[in-house]
Amino acid sequence: MTANSTYSFFNDVGSFVDKAARFTKHPKGLIEQIKQCNSIYHVTFPLRLQKGKFKVIEGYRVQHSHHKSPVKGGIRYSSGVNEDEVKALAALMSYKCALVNVPFGGAKGGVRVEPSEYTVDQLERITRRFTSELIKRNFIGPAVDVPAPDYGTGPREMAWIADTYMTFNSEQVNALGCVTGKPLTQHGIRGRKEATGRGVFFGLREAVDSYEDMQKLGLHPGLGDKTVIIQGLGNVGYYTGINLQKQGSTIIGIAEYNGGIYNEDGLDIEEVHQHRMDTGSILDFPGAKTIKNGQDLLEYACDILVPAALENQITTKNATKIQAKIIGEAANGPITADAEKILLKRGVFIIPDLYLNAGGVTVSYFEWLKNISRVSFGKINKKYNELNNQLMVDAIEDASDTNLPYKQRMQLIKGAGEYELVDSGLEGVMVGAYHEINEIRKKDNVDDLRTAAFINSINKIAVSYLELGVFP
Ligand code: NAD
C-alpha cells in the first residue's frame, strides 16, 4: 500500500533520527554521518531457466554503519526488494543493535525474487550464486558481515549460504559464524527460529504491564484480557501469536496478502497454521469470517494490532481509521512517519520496530558467539551446576529434616541447557531494553517510545564514533 509515489522508507527512518537528534547535543555532521549508508553493493547475475532461457536476478547488500564490526542483518527475498528498502532496513539494524547492546553495525540484503515463483532447485542456485557474489566483494564473513533470515528466507537459505561460504573458506576456523539462523544440524542455535516472535511477546508484555500507560488507554495492565489482530502469519507473526495466546490474549483477526479471517471468540494460531498447510491459505478457516481484503482487518477494533508482514502498511490513507489502542511493530517499518504523527495525535500507543523485533538479532548474536567459540551454551557447565544444585538441595533437606516432592527436587537440581540459556538471555535483553527506553521517555519528556528508542541508539552510536576518533 503506497500513500503517495514519493514514499521513501529510508527517508522515513532518517526523519525518525532527525526527530530524536533534537533531544541530543551531537554535532549536525555526526548525525548526518550516522544516518548515511557506508557501503552499498548492487549485483546482477543470470539464472538459467529451462529450454535455454535465462533470467537476470538482482540483489543488494547494504552496510549501513561500520562503527562496529562485523555488520549484521537479514537477507530478504521478495519481488518488492529495491535499494531504498534495503538501505532503510540496514539503517534500522544499526539502531536496533545499538538499542539492545548487541555489538554489531547494521546491514541488510535483498534479492528481488518472489520465492513462490521458483523451484527449490532454482532458489538454491540463486542463494549460492548471491553468496558467491558477496564473497567476491568481501561482503560476507564472520568478522565482516553476517546475514540472517528475513522476509521470504529461513533456515534452509541460511544453510545454503553457510555451505557456500565454507566451500570457499574451508581453512577458516570461524567460517560457520558467517551467517546466523541456520538449522540446528548446521550449527544453528536452539531458540533462533522463534526468537523474533518471542521477543515481540516479551516487549508487548513489558509495555502492557505498565499501569500508568494502560490507564491512559483505558485498559487494564496485562496481556490476559487483550484482543489482538496480526498481519502476516509468517515466522514472526506465527511465533508472536503462539506466545500471546499462551499468555491468555485472544487473537481475533489474522490478515494475509490474499485476505483475512476474523472471529471475535478467538482463532487458534496452531490450527490456522495447520489449515494453511492443508489448504494453501488461511482463508475459509472453520468458524471464522473470511475478509476479502486483508488490509481492511487493520482497521477493525482490537486492543493490540501487530503488523508482522512488511513496511508501509499504515499510511496517511488508513491511519485515521485504525481502532487499535496499541500497535506493536513486529515488522520493520509498518507505519510511515506521516501516519505515525496522526496515530500519536489520536493517542495510539506505538511500540517501535527497532525495539520490538530486536529478539531476532539478539539470538543471532548468541548463535554467532556459539559458532566462533565452537561450543554450545551449557555444554561445559550444565552437569557441574546440576551437581552443585544437588548438594544444596541435599543440605536443605538434611537441615530441615524434610524431603522435597520429587518434581520440585528435580526442578531445583536441573542445570540450564542451550534453549533455557538462550531464552532467558533473550528475555533479559528485551526487558532491560524496554526499561532503558522508558527511562529516556520520562527523563527527556518525550511523548513516544520510538523517539526515546532512537535517542538511546543515536547516543550509543555517537559515542562509538567519538571514541574511534573519527570526530575528534
Ligand atoms: P515471512 O516471510 O516468514 O512471513 C511474512 C508473512 O507475511 C507471510 O505469511 C506472507 O504471506 C505475509 N504477507 C505478505 N504480504 C502481506 C500483506 N500485504 N498482508 C498480510 N500478510 C502479508 O517473514 P518474517 O521473517 O516473518 O518477516 C516479517 C517482518 O518481520 C518483516 O518486516 C521482517 O523484516 C521483520 N523481521 C523479521 C525477522 C526474522 O527473524 N525473520 C527479524 C526482525 C524483523
206 CB near ligand 1 (under 6 Å): no
DSSP state for residue 415 in the 8-state scheme: P
Domain range summary for the chain, segments of one domain joined by +: 39-188, 194-356
Q: Can you tell me which atom of ligand 1 is nearest the CA of 313?
A: 18
Q: pTM above 0.85?
A: yes
234 CB near ligand 1 (under 6 Å): yes
What would the DSSP string read from start to end of 9-40? Answer: HHHHHHHHHHHHHTTS---HHHHHHHHS-SEE
What would the DSSP string read from start to end of 145-156? Answer: EEEEE-TT--HH
Cell output for 81:
526488494
pLDDT at 1: 42
250 CB near ligand 1 (under 6 Å): no
Cell output for 436:
532503558
What would the DSSP string read from start to end of 56-125? Answer: EEEEEEEE---SSSSEEEEEEE-TT--HHHHHHHHHHHHHHHHHTT---EEEEEEE---GGGS-HHHHHH
152 CB near ligand 1 (under 6 Å): yes
195 alpha carbon to ligand 1 midpoint, in Å?
A: 14
Compute mean pLDDT per 10 residues along the chain, 472 residues long, and list them.
Answer: 71 98 96 97 96 95 97 98 98 98 98 97 98 98 98 98 97 96 97 97 98 97 98 98 98 98 98 98 98 98 98 98 98 98 98 98 98 94 95 96 95 95 98 97 95 98 83 50
97 CB near ligand 1 (under 6 Å): no
Whose CA is closest to atom 29 on ligand 1? 331
Q: Report the distance separating Cα 418 and Cα 350, nearest Å.
A: 33
Instruction: Tell me which CATH homologous superfamily contains domain 194-356.
Output: NAD(P)-binding Rossmann-like Domain (3.40.50.720)
User: Which architecture, in CATH terms, is 39-188?
Assistant: 3-Layer(aba) Sandwich (3.40)
Cα–Cα distances in angstroms (integers) from residue 91 to residues 12, 16, 86, 332, 420, in the given order: 11, 11, 9, 11, 31
235 CB near ligand 1 (under 6 Å): yes
For residues 270 and 247, is the Cβ–Cβ distance under 8 A? no
pLDDT at 205: 98
405 alpha carbon to ligand 1 midpoint, in Å?
A: 45
Candidates 12, 236, 297: which one to mutate for ligand 1, based on the most atoms within 8 Å of Cβ?
A: 236
Instruction: Report the alpha-carbon angle 264-269-270, nearest 5.
Output: 140
Q: Report the distance separating Cα 114 and Cα 241, nearest Å.
A: 25
pLDDT at 5: 62
Whose CA is closest to atom 27 on ligand 1? 151
Same fold, 39-188 and 194-356: yes
304 CB near ligand 1 (under 6 Å): no
Task: State yes or no: is 317 an active-site residue.
Answer: no
Looking at 19, 72, 96, 108, which residue is catalytic? 108
Burial label for 443, CB within 10 Å (0-12, 13-18, 19+), is exposed
Report whether the peptide linkage leading into residue 70 is cis, meaning its omega lies within 30 degrees of zero: yes
456 alpha carbon to ligand 1 midpoint, in Å?
A: 26
Give the tens place of pLDDT for each residue, 187-208: 999 999 999 999 999 999 999 9
